[in-house]
Structure formats: C-alpha cells, structure tokens
C-alpha cells in the first residue's frame, strides 16, 4: 500500500506526474523538470518533503544517547535550535542513514531521517535508546515543505507574523526556530536544504500544510518535484542515501569524512571500525566526474581507472551546467585517465572536486 502525504490531492490537482518513491506516492514533476530546477537556482521553488520522518527524543540522558548513536558529535550543538548533519552507523562502520539532529533543549532533540529508511531507522534508534531511558517519539502529525532558492527566504519571511520576521531573518544556516505562519499557524522553520541554495525547510502540522502550500504559491514560489530535487542536490554535491552510500559503505568511502568526529572519550557505534579502516587505508573513494561530450552518466555504469573498476553512483544531466555529472566510487590511488562504459562505448570523463554548483553558478574547474 503506497503512502500519501497530506498534499497528495494538491499535487494531483496541479497535474503532477506521480511516482512511487520509497513507498510514497510523490510528484516527480509538475510539467518541465528542467524549468523547476531553474526556478530553484534563479528564484524560489518548493518541495513536499512530508514523507521525511520526524523523530523527537526526550529524557535526561538524550545527549549521552546521541553521543553514542551518531558519528558526528552533538557536543557541537551549544545554542538552542542549532542543527547538525550526521551519519548513523552500524558496528561495521556502514551507514544506516544520514540525518539532521536539532538541539531543542537539554533533554529534547529532534531528528529528521529519510523516508525510505523509516522502519529500519526507528527500530535501530529504539533498540539503542532503551539502555539510556530515552523516549523515542515519531511525529507523523507533521508535514514538511522545503522552500529553496535565492529569493526563497524573502518569500517565506513575507508570510510570517510580523513579530517573528526579524528573528527568523537573522536565523543562521543550520539553525531552526518556531514562528507563526499565515493565520497564526505554528511553524518550525529551519535554515537547511538539499539543493545548494539558501532557503528554509518548514515543519508544519499536517492540518495547515495545504494552506501553507497555497500561501507560498500565491507569493510566487514554484512547485517542484523530486526530479528537480535530485538534479539540484547532485549539482550541490550532496549524497543520496541508498544510491551514494548504504550499510556496506563507510563515511570515509562516501566522502563524508567531514561528518565524523573522532573526539576523545566518545565511543560511538562504528567508531572502532572507522579507526581501523582509516589506519589500514580506505580502499575506495568517492569522486566527482564530468562528461564534456554528449551522453548521460547513470547509476550503475562501470568506471574504468588505472587501479581497476569502479561504478557510477548518482549521475544525471546537470541543467545548470548543461552537461552530465556524477558521483563515482573508484579504487583509491592515482586513477590515471578515467573512462566510463556507456552502452559499450568507453567515453573519457574528467575527475573534479565537487560541489559542481554553488549559489547558482558553476564552481571553478567544472
């Protein structure tokens, strides 16, 4: 049985093309995926991300629990509302999921985890939480709308109650705060995103989601589907769980070393395996590739290097660059001239440092 978000009928009324995404009936586009992509890069677009799972953690030992559960350190969260991106690992150092954690009080943290991994994540979190006496509470009564683009914040700020505007305008990146939206609806506004653009991800009670979506549309925010979300996050150099990493891949092998905090005296799940892998030398690395000639890079294609074969992880035509880009996992070491096997033809590709796009513009060397 496919699940539906509270905005499902709204998407269908807009003529969205719907697909099954991790068991959810979600809009892939509302017409032109490329136009939706450009709307986010140049102005403002909005995505229904109500399929994401919100999990609230309560209890006196919640911080200790998260210091054990996550590879990144919640000790970095000093200010109320501050957020942290982290991987949650198994004992072998493989990635169970990537998530965002918000510090909302000494005994209250909020997690936002992926939709496709919901059941697995909840089971793992609950199992680990038991020893710490932490209450794990899923919040299915919330919807979530991501508003992204150079003009996204201004359009959202215009819809907030005037007493909240200045405070939310000053909200730093990777921080969140409560605010009142249209008709006084309660919002949890986070300055986060998955597009490489500025903007907000807004958690809203499900009964107000349609009204918020309509208010955003009236303010000139373009609806965008999961198709554009995927090309935007790829250009921005952001991993997709299940495609770029999973339980057989460590953060070192997914270019997520920056999310690992090997702080003294903190024994998080998977730490021993990560330290062992680092000491022995990480066997595979994740890199960015650009195809300068015609053709499309797709998940599963074989990558040929001087050290052996690798494979394309996320790959797509990048509308901002007007060429194909990809993440690939290849054997460690100097790769030599890299080629990709596209239907039996070996095409040369360039190895680049990603992100491919920042603030709407191609990055240097792309």
Average pLDDT over residues 152-170: 98
Query: With bands split at pLDDT 50, 70 and 90, how would you rate the model's confidence at 315?
Result: very high
Q: Given a cut of 90, is residue 81 above it in pLDDT? A: yes
CA dist 198 and 360 (Å) reads 10
Q: Given a cut of 90, is residue 287 above it in pLDDT? A: yes
Element (H, E) at 176: strand 176-180
Average pLDDT over residues 150-166: 98
106-126 burial, b for 16+ CB within 10 Å, e for fewer? eeebbbbbbbbbbeebeebbe
CA dist 238 and 244 (Å) reads 9
Digit-coded pLDDT (tens) for 335-347: 999 999 999 999 9
Q: What confidence score (pLDDT) does residue 1 get? A: 78
Q: What confidence score (pLDDT) does residue 36 get? A: 98
> What does the chain come to in residues?
366
Digit-coded pLDDT (tens) for 199-252: 999 999 999 999 999 999 999 999 999 999 999 999 999 999 999 999 999 999
């Amino acid at each position: 049985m496919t699940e539906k978000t509270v905005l499902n009928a709204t998407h269908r009324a807009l003529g969205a093309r719907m697909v099954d995404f991790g068991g959810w009936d979600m809009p892939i586009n509302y017409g032109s995926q490329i136009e939706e992509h450009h709307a986010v890069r140049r102005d403002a677009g909005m995505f229904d991300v109500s399929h994401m799972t919100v999990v609230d953690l309560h209890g006196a030992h919640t911080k200790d629990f998260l210091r054990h559960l996550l590879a990144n350190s919640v000790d970095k969260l000093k200010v109320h509302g501050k957020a942290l991106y982290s991987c949650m690992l198994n004992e072998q150092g493989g990635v169970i999921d990537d998530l965002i954690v918000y510090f909302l009080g000494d005994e209250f943290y909020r997690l936002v985890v992926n939709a496709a991994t919901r059941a697995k994540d909840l089971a793992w979190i609950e199992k680990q939480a038991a020893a710490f006496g932490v209450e794990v509470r899923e919040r299915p009564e919330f919807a979530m709308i991501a508003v992204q683009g150079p003009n996204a914040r201004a359009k959202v700020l215009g819809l907030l109650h005037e007493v909240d505007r200045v405070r939310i305008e000053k909200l730093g990146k990777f921080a969140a705060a409560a605010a009142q939206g249209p008709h006084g609806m309660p919002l949890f506004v986070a300055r986060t995103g998955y597009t490489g653009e500025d903007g907000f991800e807004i958690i809203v009670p499900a009964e107000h989601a349609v009204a918020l979506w309509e208010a955003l549309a009236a303010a000139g925010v373009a609806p965008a589907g999961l198709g554009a979300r995927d090309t935007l996050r790829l250009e921005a150099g952001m991993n997709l769980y299940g495609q770029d990493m999973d339980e057989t891949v460590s953060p070192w092998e997914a270019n997520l070393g920056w999310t690992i905090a090997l702080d003294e005296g903190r024994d998080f799940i998977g730490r021993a395996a990560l330290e062992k892998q680092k000491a022995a030398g990480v066997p595979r690395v994740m890199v960015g590739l650009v195809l300068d000639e015609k053709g499309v890079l797709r998940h599963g294609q074989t990558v040929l290097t001087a050290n052996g074969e690798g494979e394309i992880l996320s790959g797509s035509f990048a509308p901002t660059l007007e060429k194909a880009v990809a993440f690939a996992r290849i054997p460690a070491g100097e790769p030599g001239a890299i080629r990709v096997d596209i239907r039996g033809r070996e095409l040369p590709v360039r190895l680049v440092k990603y992100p491919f796009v920042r603030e709407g513009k191609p990055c240097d060397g792309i």
